[in-house]
Chain A
């Protein structure tokens, strides 16, 4: 066990060294969600909420959840690049703990997401976003966001290991947008056609967005449907389901890389 901790900390440290060596791409991933809030607030704020200012309390928690979805791409790029370049094979040829490489990836990506959440939170505050929930609720909200990230992380690890090449990452980069829009991140599903609204309400992203809005004490969606009324439960169930499915699949894919 101690070798697992030792090895995965070293491998996570490798990613931190990448951030130091190439701060610009790292800062771009931190600030991109902020750009999304500014853009969506400016474009849709007036139409959706009457003004950009009134839209902020709704959209900031939504984009906090969306930021976790953006992390999927970071994970997949890192995993696919290492697998393609043979770096993963080199790690696999070393006497490391068998879980260390993927655990190191998890640690590094969760750390990146903590930084991205901090950046988005600071930007939210600058735009006038506030929470009214107690400290416990606020911590629980951030916990749920990171739990979603953990679920997506294992999806990203699995997809990255199975990807035939870096081109596959581009497909995921594109898919992030329909998944992001077909959720309650930007809009209340009550304003959508009913079938589209149902898709949006079942989206795991929506569960987390709804749950954290409630915990932060921010305005939420209209509700009335089962998934919309059970955001808290779904925001725990979805990520746990993703981990339960994709962590074992990733472990198998890692052992069988390139067969």
Chain B
């Protein structure tokens, strides 16, 4: 598969900074996929996006977007990309529609074509009622949607979205997610940065975890979660004796050591059959549990794992 984004050994040390913001950053994003660059504040996400979108020059390394080298063919990169920066970068004084017309015309659309495209995007992004209002009066979610629309006036082949939902309420966040998903249906390659595992899990085919300026772990969300362990059934009882009895009953269904801790039992299981089998055994013979939960490992566990383990690879 063709790579829409390719970065190799990228290094960037800001003047005056204590340590490099990117230090051996490698990334390959297949055309038509969604990659989430996941990392905590200061991991280097924005720096990576700014280098790949030609806003910033790197000290060392190579990077190409849509087949264009970011250093030698900046214009080629800029013609191929859309950028939604960390802060909604739209004109606050103009209305939403006027913003889209302006960006369309700056992308070389004729006046009539820019207007038609603006109307189309306004409707598609649910901004009809606010199209003529100054963007300064928009809510955070509306602004984000306009920001996304502005990066799509001329459909990009690669879209960069830097922390699209940071600071948004849950409703607005879901709106943005829905928008990103629709883009993917249109075949756009998306590089999205986020601090939220849930977001990476929801949207991405490929997750790259960034720490201290380099990708420390990558793979599909399923591959990453399988790295840190299995599904567990967690059961609580009224007494420690009940818990110990349940721990013994769990033996045949567990794929690893059963963990009995006071009144709580945690049983690692391989599949759904083991879960129902264990529950049936409890119902038939064992004491009555107060609470039963099935817990799958989440990207959260991976995140914690990566951030506590010193060296992953």
Chain A 69-104, CB-CB to B under 8 Å as 1, else 0, gives 000000000000000011101111111100000000
Determine if B94 and A93 form an interchain contact, defined as CB atoms under 8 angstroms apart: no
Q: A94-B78, A259-B15 are in contact. Are A87 and B54 (CB under 8 A)?
A: no
Task: State whether the Cβ of A109 lies closer than 8 Å to any Cβ in chain B.
Answer: no
Determine if B56 and A90 form an interchain contact, defined as CB atoms under 8 angstroms apart: no
Task: State whether the Cβ of B299 lies closer than 8 Å to any Cβ in chain A.
Answer: no
The stretch among A14-22, A144-152, A211-219 that forms the contact with chain B is: A14-22
Give A92 to B94 CA distance when docked, in angstroms: 19
Looking at B53, B56, B106, B150, the one whose CB has the most chain A CB atoms below 10 A away is B106
Determine if A93 and B91 form an interchain contact, defined as CB atoms under 8 angstroms apart: no
Determine if B98 and A17 form an interchain contact, defined as CB atoms under 8 angstroms apart: yes
Q: Chain A residues near B86: list those with CB within 8 A.
A: 86
Q: Which of B85, B106, B107 contacts A89 (CB 8 A)?
A: B85
Give A14 to B98 CA distance when docked, in angstroms: 9
Q: Chain B residues near A18: list those with CB within 8 A.
A: 93-94
Determine if A93 and B78 form an interchain contact, defined as CB atoms under 8 angstroms apart: yes
Quick one: which of A131-151 are within 8 Å of B by CB? none
Q: Chain B residues near A14: list those with CB within 8 A.
A: 91, 94, 102
Task: State whether the Cβ of B28 lies closer than 8 Å to any Cβ in chain A.
Answer: no
Quick one: which of A1-53 are within 8 Å of B by CB? 7, 10-11, 14, 17-18, 21-22
Q: A7-B106, A14-B102, A95-B75 are in contact. Are A89 and B94 (CB under 8 A)?
A: no
Q: Chain A residues near B78: list those with CB within 8 A.
A: 93-95
Q: Which of B83, B88, B91, B102 contacts A10 (CB 8 A)?
A: B102
Q: Chain A residues near B83: list those with CB within 8 A.
A: 89-90, 93
Chain B 90-102, CB-CB to A under 8 Å as 1, else 0, gives 1111110010001
Q: Which of A17, A22, A86, A259 contacts B56 (CB 8 A)?
A: A259
Q: How far apart are A17's CB and chain B's nearest CB, in angstroms? A: 6
Q: How far apart are B90's CB and chain A's nearest CB, in angstroms? A: 7
Q: A90-B83, A92-B55 are in contact. Are A17 and B106 (CB under 8 A)?
A: no
Q: How far apart are B42's CB and chain A's nearest CB, in angstroms? A: 16
Determine if A21 and B93 form an interchain contact, defined as CB atoms under 8 angstroms apart: yes
Q: A10-B105, A18-B93, A21-B94 are in contact. Are A93 and B56 (CB under 8 A)?
A: no
Determine if B89 and A17 form an interchain contact, defined as CB atoms under 8 angstroms apart: no
Q: Chain A residues near B102: list those with CB within 8 A.
A: 10, 14
Give A87 to B103 CA distance when docked, in angstroms: 11
Give A93 to B82 CA distance when docked, in angstroms: 8
A contact patch SS: helix
Q: How far apart are B224's CB and chain A's nearest CB, in angstroms? A: 30
Task: State whether the Cβ of B87 lies closer than 8 Å to any Cβ in chain A.
Answer: yes
Task: State whether the Cβ of B181 lies closer than 8 Å to any Cβ in chain A.
Answer: no
Q: Chain A residues near B94: list those with CB within 8 A.
A: 14, 17-18, 21
Q: How far apart are B13's CB and chain A's nearest CB, in angstroms? A: 11
Give A62 to B59 CA distance when docked, in angstroms: 50
Across the two chains, which residue of chain A brings its CB closest to B79? A95
Give A86 to B148 CA distance when docked, in angstroms: 14
Q: A93-B55, A95-B79 are in contact. Are A85 and B92 (CB under 8 A)?
A: yes
Q: Chain B residues near A96: list those with CB within 8 A.
A: 106
Q: Chain A residues near B57: list those with CB within 8 A.
A: 259
Give A95 to B156 CA distance when docked, in angstroms: 12
Determine if B134 and A89 form an interchain contact, defined as CB atoms under 8 angstroms apart: no
Task: State whether the Cβ of B81 lies closer than 8 Å to any Cβ in chain A.
Answer: yes
Chain B 39-55, CB-CB to A under 8 Å as 1, else 0, gives 00000000000100111
Give A18 to B78 CA distance when docked, in angstroms: 27
Q: A10-B105, A17-B98 are in contact. Are A93 and B93 (CB under 8 A)?
A: no
Give A7 to B54 CA distance when docked, in angstroms: 19
Determine if B53 and A87 form an interchain contact, defined as CB atoms under 8 angstroms apart: no
Across the two chains, which residue of chain A brings its CB closest to B75? A95
Q: Which of B14, B50, B87, B95 contacts A85 (CB 8 A)?
A: B87
Q: How far apart are A188's CB and chain B's nearest CB, in angstroms? A: 43
Give A18 to B81 CA distance when docked, in angstroms: 28
Give A90 to B78 CA distance when docked, in angstroms: 10
Determine if A95 and B107 form an interchain contact, defined as CB atoms under 8 angstroms apart: yes
Determine if B89 and A86 form an interchain contact, defined as CB atoms under 8 angstroms apart: yes
Determine if B106 and A94 form an interchain contact, defined as CB atoms under 8 angstroms apart: yes
Determine if A90 and B93 form an interchain contact, defined as CB atoms under 8 angstroms apart: no
Across the two chains, which residue of chain A brings its CB closest to B87? A86
**A-B pairs with beta carbons under 8 Å apart, 23 shown:** A7-B106, A10-B102, A10-B106, A11-B106, A14-B102, A17-B93, A17-B94, A18-B94, A85-B89, A86-B86, A87-B90, A89-B83, A89-B89, A90-B89, A90-B90, A92-B54, A92-B55, A93-B55, A94-B78, A94-B107, A95-B107, A257-B55, A258-B56
8 additional contacts (CB under 8 A) given A86-B86, A93-B53, A93-B83: A18-B94, A85-B92, A87-B89, A87-B90, A89-B85, A94-B103, A94-B107, A257-B55
